[in-house]
Structure 1
Amino acid sequence: MSTDTFTADTAAPPSAAAVRAIEEAAHRARPISLAELNERSALLARFDRSYLVPTATFLRVIDRLTRPSHHGGPFRALTIDDRRAFRYHSVYYDTPDLRSFHDHRQGRRLRFKIRERLYADSGERQFEIKLKGGRGDTVKHRSPLTGTDTPLDDAPQAFLADTLRRAYAIAPPPVLRPSLSTDYLRSTFVADGRRITCDAGLVCVDLRTGRTVRCDSGLVLVETKSAEHLTEADRLLHAHRVRPAMFTKYCGALAVLRPALPANRWRRAAHRAFTSDGAGPP
């Protein structure tokens, strides 16, 4: 499956409130390089919490966390070649009967997601496997893709088999197919051992039906990532009456794109994320 770059027809309009908000917040913050981010906050094993945040609330919370006078040091914005907002394109892979989706729906202990991620601004591609750790944390395994490699080629499939065998003592699915693509703009804020990813302009495409949904242009998709169960960012969001959302890009998008799927655990948040300002399926 080709992972085409983030293009004008899938990107959020430049004037979208959420896009403006994450770019504005990132340019106000002090910068941090990718090398320093990896040194201070790699977090390949972490707890993730998701929030659907109105842009005004997002700007208030990020302003508080990125102030130079912030206790313990401010969160800083990932900066690469003077760029502080980055285009991401991902393709998720699943079995023909959507085993990954249903395992997450049922809360199975040995569940995983498989995707190819393209960092559109640099051209870097990674094959990623996200597992659930013993503490309920998320554990990510990555292997670079080069040239015309795809996740269905021998080397990535061997990496997948080895990862699942070591982590879960199970075999990989015998058949995988591309199921969903996502495109969005991301800014990342970093402090020691903590990270906040802020996504805007999300567009999801069901690769089996061609149907598309776009995220509400006034919402920022915020994820807090840390080795802790609850961080200062979580507490600030809670103080602004923003509670964690039962939402993932993959499962939430499929809940809207395929209404016949049993997806009650995600449907409420997914309809909030995707159906405002005419963003529902065509």
Structure 2
Amino acid sequence: MNIPSRPLEIDRCLLDRFDPITLERMDSIRLMNRIETKYVTDILLLREILEDAQRQGYLVFESDGERIQAYDSIYFDTSDLRMFREHRRGKLVRQKIRTRVYLGSGLCFLEVKKKNNHSRTRKKRVGVPPDDFLDFREDPEACLWLASHSCYQSCEIFPSVETMFNRITLVNKNLTERLTIDISVTFKNLRTSSEASLGTAAIIEIKQDGRLGSKMKDILLKHRVKPMRVSKYCLGVALTDPKVIPGRFKSKIRFIDKLNKNRYTICYNPVLHRPL
């Protein structure tokens, strides 16, 4: 598995051109019930996209003077990867369960993301002690919270894939839209111990309360970046478990591999695998 020898970098001077937005102002646009539109591009084109976003008045989230935040997440799944398989076969109503720690602040959360058949994503989360990050299942309060917010019980899920990435968060000047840009995305499969990286790829996600107009969508259209349904968790499973058939994720992996060109190569071998 080839992983970049150094983290991908965005020119800090470019981010410094943006006006900042604080966490307090961000609270009004958390968008826990939202429509998400995702895109994948490479870091070179991302610089041009950021330049256009700055000219359009987008604000950048800043915390303790930092405009790029580091995230670490652990996704949980059943022993037969039910959540992954439901997404792979295109089931509209589905869930994902994860713990997430914000490495800058040390804050840790247990989160449940639910997708409904109207393409809306609803996220619920609760703060948990940092010791729960790797495995919350020994925490009675966390298990009770999960039982009341998910169709899964803590006894039927296990740590599956760890994802680490750096994130830039932008907000439009009307405070009606938030978008996240994830770079330096890496995976570690906690069942197979395999690791993978998305290399130079950047995942952009626009989050809105409805299908409103978006200057960022116009910017991405200008740069010929098209929407792509993609899940970091599912990519992580497909890239790090040789027993898994990638299915609908195979074309996305190939697309990301092309983005990387000769800079880095993500590990994907198109061999036949046994279906789950």
Is the TM value for this pair above 0.5? yes
Q: Residue type matched to 1:49 in 2?
A: T
Q: Partners of 1:175 and 1:278 in 2: how far apart?
A: 35
Q: Partners of 2:14 and 2:170 in 1: how far apart?
A: 10
In structure 2, the CA distance between the partners of 1:31 and 1:11, relative to structure 1 (3 Å rule), is: farther
Q: Residue type matched to 2:187 in 1?
A: C
Matched, 1:48 2:36: yes
Q: Partners of 2:27 and 2:129 in 1: how far apart?
A: 21
Q: Which residue matches 2:176?
A: 193
Q: Which residue matches 1:167?
A: none
Q: Deviations over 1:194-252 (max 9, x none)?
A: 111111111101110110101122x2221111123363212321221111123211001
Question: Unmatched 5+ residue regions in structure 2?
Answer: 270-276
Deviation at 1:267, TM superposition (A): 1.6
Q: Which residue matches 1:176?
A: 157
Matched, 1:63 2:51: yes
Q: 1:229 aligns with which of 211, 218, 240?
A: 211
Q: Partners of 2:13 and 2:110 in 1: how far apart?
A: 31
Deviation at 1:24, TM superposition (A): 4.6
Q: Partners of 1:60 and 1:250 in 2: how far apart?
A: 27
Matched, 1:151 2:136: yes
Q: 2:6 aligns with which of 7, 13, 21?
A: 13
Q: Partners of 1:95 and 1:255 in 2: how far apart?
A: 16
Q: Which residue matches 2:266?
A: 279
Q: Is the 8 A contact 2:38 2:204 kept in 1?
A: yes
Paired residue secondary structure (1:93): strand
Q: Deviations over 1:114-139 (max 9, x none)?
A: 00001011100000000013521110
Q: Which residue matches 2:253?
A: 270
Q: Partners of 1:144 and 1:36 in 2: how far apart?
A: 20
Q: Which residue matches 2:27?
A: 38
Deviation at 1:47, TM superposition (A): 1.2
Q: Residue type matched to 2:147 in 1?
A: A
Q: Residue type matched to 2:204 in 1?
A: V
Q: How does 1:246-265 map to 2 (within 5 A)?
A: 246-265=229-248
Q: How many residues align?
A: 257
Percent of aligned positions with the same letter in both sequences? 26
Q: Partners of 1:11 and 1:154 in 2: how far apart?
A: 39
Q: Is the 8 A contact 1:12 1:201 kept in 2?
A: no
**Further displaced range: 175-184 or 249-258:** 249-258
Q: 1:98 aligns with which of 60, 77, 81?
A: 81
Structure 1: which 4+ aligned runs deviate by more than 6 Å? none
In structure 2, the CA distance between the partners of 1:155 and 1:37, relative to structure 1 (3 Å rule), is: same
| TM-score normalised by structure 1 residue count | 0.83
Deviation at 1:38, TM superposition (A): 1.1
Q: Residue type matched to 1:187 in 2?
A: I
Paired residue secondary structure (1:63): helix
Q: Is the 8 A contact 2:98 2:112 kept in 1?
A: yes
Deviation at 1:50, TM superposition (A): 1.5
Question: Unmatched 5+ residue regions in structure 1?
Answer: 1-9, 165-169
Q: Partners of 1:172 and 1:59 in 2: how far apart?
A: 43
Across the aligned residues of Structure 1 and Structure 2, the Cα RMSD in angstroms comes to: 2.2
Q: Is the 8 A contact 2:18 2:59 kept in 1?
A: yes
